[in-house]
Amino acid sequence: MAIPGQRFELDLDADDFTVRPLNEDFSHDLAANFAVKEVREHEAETPPPPPSLKSSKSGFPEHRPRRNISDFKKRQQAGAVPARPSISSRVEPSDRAIAHHVGKKYGVDLETQQKAEISEENKRRLAEMSVEDIAEARAELMSNLNPAFLERLLKRANIDEDQPAQEAWPRDDRDAARETQPAIIDTDTSASLVEDKQVPTTSIHFPAPPRSAEDYTPLDTDDPSFLTNLKSHYFPETPHDPSSLQWLQDPTEEELKESLYNPEKDSFLASALRFGFNGRLIAPRESLEIDVKQGLHHHGDDPSSAGYTIPELAILARSTLPNQRCVAYQILGRVLYRLGRGDFGARGSELEEALWSVVEREKPIEVIMSEANRQSGHASAKAHAIEALWLWRKGGGGDRGVLKPGQRVAK
């Protein structure tokens, strides 16, 4: 829709900005100049020729040489910029490679020759040294070197020279000397350095010759002193700590009475109840009758009782060994399933509430959740953790076992 109007010219140089109307003919000519006309194409008589490309041997356009030389090139041609040294790609052979090549070509073993020269140099220096110099050198060596390391060096020297090490004690008195006296190492090449040096037997092990078969007698495994006889009969010279074998011995009557899972007790703590691999509760008397071959015995508070308590499983769940975590997750998942299903009592019963309180105090479910949410790690441990969480929810105990912030007892 066109808006009617009149064109005018405003004289900005005038004081009163005089308005002068435009001529009608001039306005038509101005409008014709600014009008958009129809675009017409001119018909060409001949088609334009295709672009011509210069052929090259490589098939790619050739490099166009520069008409103007850069300033860096000018300075380099003038000698202001030093030329870049060329890096040689040739790798010099090592000394070992040269020695191998010379020995293979000319039959000369440079390594053996070098060892002989060093040995001659050492012998010459020893011949020039006085007794005081030798004693001073010996004291310096013994103060700076470990006796066991020095012994290994001397043995290695004997092996290189095909000379057996000399024993410092007679063969008949060797066993007694090994128990009461320190050992003395002596060789031909370094006897003057270590003839009086004593090496403690605690850092050096002397192998004993094998004994005859007649010296061995069968031992009775039912004998109460079986472990002591085993040590004194087969390993008389090996040091040991008797307390390290305490776990192999059967518990005494006093230890059985002090056990938290003693069948003679009238009541038991919920944290002392033991479970099997299938999550079933093991009775106290049954725990003492289970064979150790079933794998339910371990080095816990009560090694004579089979099964795992919830605190022990919570500790295994935090183990750095994946196989121990897998066992803990597997048993915990089955215990939580039975606990939520009501196998240990109805909802709200004394035993059921006591077991849930132990679970919430030891917090094994939080550990299982952390294992299941790992992006990487042991695949089997993560699979067992996911299975344990599924059993926990499947048994209906998903609302118990994890305390919320500020709670003492889950509801």
How many CB atoms sit inside 10 A of residue 193's CB? 20
Single-letter residue type at 406? G
Residue 375 is given by DSSP the state S
Instruction: Identify whether the C-beta of residue 339 lies closer than 8 Å to the C-beta of residue 356.
Output: yes
How many CB atoms sit inside 10 A of residue 158's CB? 17
Find the helix or strand (DSSP H, E) in which 8 lies: strand 8-10
Output the pLDDT for position 9: 72
Rounded CA-CA distance 402/411 in Å is 10
Q: Global pTM? A: 0.45
Structural tokens at position 193: 């350095």
How many CB atoms sit inside 10 A of residue 362's CB? 20
pLDDT less than 70: residues of the chain: 1-8, 15-37, 80-91, 156-209, 242-251, 406-411
Distances (CA, A) of 28 to 2, 143, 324: 16, 119, 100
Instruction: Identify whether the C-beta of residue 296 lies closer than 8 Å to the C-beta of residue 276.
Output: yes
Instruction: Identify whether the C-beta of residue 102 lies closer than 8 Å to the C-beta of residue 110.
Output: yes
The per-residue pLDDT for range 305-335, each reduced to its tens digit, is: 888 999 999 999 999 999 999 999 999 999 9
CA-based max dimension of the chain: 146
Output the pLDDT for position 368: 94
Pairing of strands 281-282, 19-21: unpaired
* 3-class state of residue 281 by DSSP: strand
Distances (CA, A) of 157 to 74, 91, 122, 147: 69, 36, 14, 15
Single-letter residue type at 266? D
Find the helix or strand (DSSP H, E) in which 282 lies: strand 281-282
Closest of 282, 368, 266 to residue 317, by C-alpha: 368
Rounded CA-CA distance 89/109 in Å is 30
Rounded CA-CA distance 147/141 in Å is 10
Single-letter residue type at 141? L
Instruction: Identify whether the C-beta of residue 10 lies closer than 8 Å to the C-beta of residue 19.
Output: yes
How many CB atoms sit inside 10 A of residue 228's CB? 12
Residue 133 is given by DSSP the state H
Structural tokens at position 78: 């003038």
Find the helix or strand (DSSP H, E) in which 142 lies: helix 131-144
Closest of 127, 153, 131 to residue 142, by C-alpha: 153
Q: Which residues of 113-123 are buried (b: 16+ CB within 10 A; e: fewer)?
A: eeeeeeeeeee
Single-letter residue type at 116? A
Output the pLDDT for position 358: 92
First to last CA, the chain: 78
Instruction: Identify whether the C-beta of residue 274 lies closer than 8 Å to the C-beta of residue 282.
Output: yes
* CA pseudo-torsion sign 287, 291, 293, 297: positive
Closest of 308, 302, 319, 262 to residue 285, by C-alpha: 262
Output the pLDDT for position 325: 94
Which ranges in 348-399 belong to alpha helices (H)?
350-362, 364-372, 379-394
The per-residue pLDDT for range 117-176, each reduced to its tens digit, is: 888 888 888 888 888 888 888 888 777 777 777 777 777 655 444 444 444 334 444 443
Q: Tokens 């929810």: give the residue.
A: 393
Output the pLDDT for position 390: 93
